[in-house]
Amino acid sequence: MNQEHDAGPGRSGVSRRNFLGGGLVAAAVTPLLTGQAEAKAAAAPTVDGVAQVTVRAAVNGSPVTVRVDPRATLLDTLRERLDLKGTKKGCDRGQCGACTVHVDGRRVLSCLTLAATTTGREVTTIEGLADGDRLHPMQQAFVEHDGLQCGFCTPGQIMSAVAMVDDEGGADSDDEIRERMSGNICRCSAYPRIVDAIRDAQQVMR
Amino acid sequence: MRPYTYAQARSVREALRGAGPDTAFLAGGTTLVDLMKLEVVTPERVVDINRLPLDGVTLDHKGLHIGALERMSDVAAHPAVRQHYPMIAQALELSASAQLRNMASIGGNLLQRTRCGYFRDVTTPCNKREPGSGCSALDGINRGHAVLGTSDACIATHPSDLAVPLVALSTTVHLASPRGTRSVPLDTFYTLPGSTPDVENVLRPDELITGITVPRSPWAARSLYLKVRDRQSYEFALTSAAVALELQGRTITNARIAAGGVGTRPWRLTAVERALTGRPATPATFEAAVTHAADGAQPREHNAFKPALLRRTLVRALTELQESR
Ligand SMILES: Cc1cc2nc3c(=O)[nH]c(=O)nc-3n(C[C@H](O)[C@H](O)[C@H](O)COP(=O)(O)OP(=O)(O)OC[C@H]3O[C@@H](n4cnc5c(N)ncnc54)[C@H](O)[C@@H]3O)c2cc1C
Ligand code: SF4
Ligand code: FES
Ligand code: FES
């Protein structure tokens, strides 16, 4: 969806301060982010000059620097720019949970997170969960309980469940698991086995 | 999504500098990013306010103070909120999903836009999105729409759960602009659609919500939020009720009541409050007090069930509250 453009050469000359309307700081050092000319260009989609934002974040423990269109979501950036395709795009509207990742240890929706806002943050995706070849207990439990059918929602379910236990203290009953996992929709309705998997994994994790 | 420039503000002053109608402040982004993708909202500048020092949840003799950038999940989990303002914690926990509550801020929550499907669909007429274009919901699909506070121009429901207990408890919103600061009662912060449904509140384009204050009261601690919806979780309200009672023995000495899912803004029910005050907290009192709760309702084709559902929601909320002690 979001076209990523390189701001072309020769766009300097007007100060960034001016462009950003005074004391605002750009998300990071963005030498190509310049000038009123570019602001106008940015308003016309036919021109290639959308001011880029440099993001410096830790993704699955490794430092990453990537220049993104300010419109780029974290989801698209992970998938299209960092080749981390484990995080899935279901609705792209905050309604299904397929895109769930952790930012600073909390579960969030990467489809409604602008990549530009993640500078200085720690992002964890499904690819960052296993310890080498050793699956995370939540992944292992999903395998053992067959907590999936088509598997499309599974990375989101697992990321959500891990944070539900690690960050939020877990759930005390099946009903509570269901309530606290309600942000992750499973189109195949594999819910009973998803609940089984989470109940078991939680015991290992706690 | 339309192109925009992005910048992070380090202070309230920086965020406000140059802010105008083409500026959007970005908090959790769960409303803003969604609506920018749909091109319902098309700012030229997005100012990220997440690093402003507008956080903190504190309780003092005046009441509960919550910074605009506090996240829904953190406020819901806060011990002072849970103990002294249970219905605020409940309204937050019954909102959206865990992921969204981790992202969404209190200020953004109060400013979230309606979920009216026509508002979100740029191919259909909508007075709120495009003044003067007409209202597709009047004779369209209007099951989720409001029955109170509506006009010929718009019948969109205000979707916030949090705003319902906040209105019941006479919350104040604190605002900052280049001209200084001001505080506005939440009840008058929201405006009725009338002939200008594109205007939803008194916030000016160069004004930020910095926080809210919920007054201290004996009734806030004895309160309950009940939400009725099409599925058990992760759904907006068809109707909801925020009820708070102060009792002396069995007699109700103070009542604060508001409803969600039924109004074009969070709906305080002062007539129900008056009908409860001075009476014994019994089922008969509750039934009698809610008879006129939906007076003046203007139902449309698909939402004619709402007045009756509202009355039953209120009775159930009052009964559950009464039985919980
Ligand atoms: C799938 C889904 C389900 C949901 N279910 C519910 C539900 O059941 N109940 C419920 O109540 N809500 C629900 N929501 C809405 C959600 O609660 C709101 O989107 C959220 O609270 C908005 O907060 P935010 O910080 O993400 O706001 P943003 O999206 O960042 O901002 C929203 C608006 O407020 C402005 N803004 C933000 N902060 C400030 C500030 N401090 N000062 C001035 N302007 C500001 C922004 O410019 C923007 O116009 C749901 C949302 C989704 C996507
Ligand atoms: S109800 Fe309001 S928001 Fe919905 S279509 Fe009509 S004018 Fe637009
Ligand atoms: S893709 Fe993010 S919630 Fe559906
Ligand atoms: S396994 Fe198919 S969507 Fe969940």
Contact B33 A43 (CB under 8 A): no
- The fraction of chain B above a pLDDT of 70, given in percent, is 100
Residue B241: which of B148, B305, B309, B322 has the closest Cα? B309
Decide: A94 in ligand 3 pocket, CB within 6 A: yes
Pocket of ligand 4 (CB under 6 A): A 148-154, 186-188, 190
**Does residue A62 lie within any of the structural domains?**
yes
Cα–ligand 1 centroid distance for B28 (angstroms): 7
- Contacts A–B by Cβ distance under 8 A: 126
What is the model's pLDDT at position A51? 84
Contact B34 A93 (CB under 8 A): yes
- Shared-domain flag, residues A188 and A137: yes
What is the model's pLDDT at position A15? 34
Euclidean distance between CA atoms A83 and A88, whole angstroms: 12
Phi first, then psi, for residue B25 (nearest 5°) are: -85, 135
Cα–ligand 4 centroid distance for A206 (angstroms): 26
- Residue B261 has a CB neighbour count (10 Å cut-off) of 29
Q: How far is A140 from chain B (nearest CA, A)?
A: 23
- Shared-domain flag, residues A177 and A104: no
pLDDT one-digit tens code per residue, B81-135: 999 999 999 999 999 999 999 999 999 999 999 999 999 999 999 999 999 999 9
Write out the two tokens for B112.
Answer: 């979230």
- Tell me how far apart the 2 most distant CA atoms of chain A are, in Å: 62
Euclidean distance between CA atoms A33 and B22, whole angstroms: 19
- Shared-domain flag, residues A85 and A113: yes
**Does residue A12 lie within any of the structural domains?**
no
Q: What is the pLDDT along chain A (206 residues), one digit of tens a residue?
A: 333 333 333 333 333 333 333 334 444 333 333 333 333 333 333 334 568 999 999 999 999 999 999 999 999 999 999 999 999 999 999 999 999 999 999 999 999 999 999 999 999 999 999 999 999 999 999 999 999 999 999 999 999 999 999 999 999 999 999 999 999 999 999 999 999 999 999 999 98
- Shared-domain flag, residues A56 and A115: yes
Helices A191-205 + A137-145 axis angle, to 10:
140
Contact A21 B48 (CB under 8 A): no
Contact A94 B50 (CB under 8 A): no
Q: Give the single-character DSSP code of A13.
A: S
Exposure string for A171-199, b = 16+ CB within 10 A, e = fewer: beeeeebbbbbbbbbbeeebbebbbbbbb
**Does residue A54 lie within any of the structural domains?**
yes
Which residues 110-129 of A have a C-beta within 8 angstroms of B? Answer: 112-114, 116-117
Q: Indicate the helix (H) or strand (E) that contains A156.
A: helix A154-166
Contact B98 A27 (CB under 8 A): no
Contacts of B104 in chain A (CB under 8 A): none
Q: Give the single-character DSSP code of A50.
A: P
Of the residues A128, A150, A174, the one at which a domain ends: A128
Cα–ligand 1 centroid distance for B69 (angstroms): 11
Q: How far is B273 from chain A (nearest CA, A)?
A: 32
- Shared-domain flag, residues A145 and A122: no
Residue B317: which of B258, B274, B277, B263 has the closest Cα? B258
| Contact by Cβ (8 Å): B114, B142 | no
A73 CB-near residues (< 8 Å, 6+ apart): A2, A92, A110, A111, A112, A113, A114, A115, B33
- Shared-domain flag, residues A61 and A121: yes
**Does residue A111 lie within any of the structural domains?**
yes
**Does residue A53 lie within any of the structural domains?**
yes
Euclidean distance between CA atoms A123 and A101, whole angstroms: 7
**Does residue A167 lie within any of the structural domains?**
yes
Q: Indicate the helix (H) or strand (E) that contains B184.
A: strand B180-185
Q: Where are the alpha helices (H) located in chain B, listed in sequence order?
A: 12-16, 32-37, 72-77, 79-84, 86-93, 98-103, 106-110, 163-168, 186-189, 270-276, 283-289, 306-323
Q: How far is A117 from chain B (nearest CA, A)?
A: 8
Contact A114 B33 (CB under 8 A): yes
Cα–ligand 1 centroid distance for B38 (angstroms): 15
For residue A59, what is the domain's CATH number?
A: 3.10.20.30
The verdict on A24 touching B (C-beta cutoff 8 Å) is: yes
The verdict on A50 touching B (C-beta cutoff 8 Å) is: yes
**Residue B137: left if φ>0, alpha if ψ -120 to 50, beta else—which one?**
alpha
Of the residues A128, A163, A185, the one at which a domain ends: A128
Domain count, chain A: 2
- Residue A107 has a CB neighbour count (10 Å cut-off) of 30
Cα–ligand 2 centroid distance for B190 (angstroms): 16
**Does residue A139 lie within any of the structural domains?**
yes
- Please, what are the averages of pLDDT over each run of 10 residues along chain B (325 residues)? 96 96 98 98 98 98 98 98 98 98 98 98 98 98 98 98 98 97 98 98 98 97 97 94 97 98 98 98 98 97 98 98 87
**CA separation (Å) from A197 to A189, A192, B252?**
14, 9, 48
The verdict on A77 touching B (C-beta cutoff 8 Å) is: no
Instruction: Please give the domain boundaries of chain B with CATH numbers for all domains.
Output: 5-50 (3.30.43.10), 223-323 (3.30.390.50)
**CA separation (Å) from A188 to A120, A148, A152, A195, B235?**
37, 8, 9, 14, 20
For residue A193, what is the domain's CATH number?
A: 1.10.150.120
pLDDT one-digit tens code per residue, B152-168: 999 999 999 999 999 99
- Shared-domain flag, residues A123 and A137: no
What is the model's pLDDT at position A206? 85
Decide: B118 in ligand 2 pocket, CB within 6 A: yes
Judged by DSSP in three states, B258 sits in: strand
**Residue A16: left if φ>0, alpha if ψ -120 to 50, beta else—which one?**
alpha
**Does residue A96 lie within any of the structural domains?**
yes
Euclidean distance between CA atoms B225 and A205, whole angstroms: 33
- What is the extent of the structural domain holding A137? 131-206
The structure's pTM equals 0.92
Of the residues A128, A148, A182, the one at which a domain ends: A128
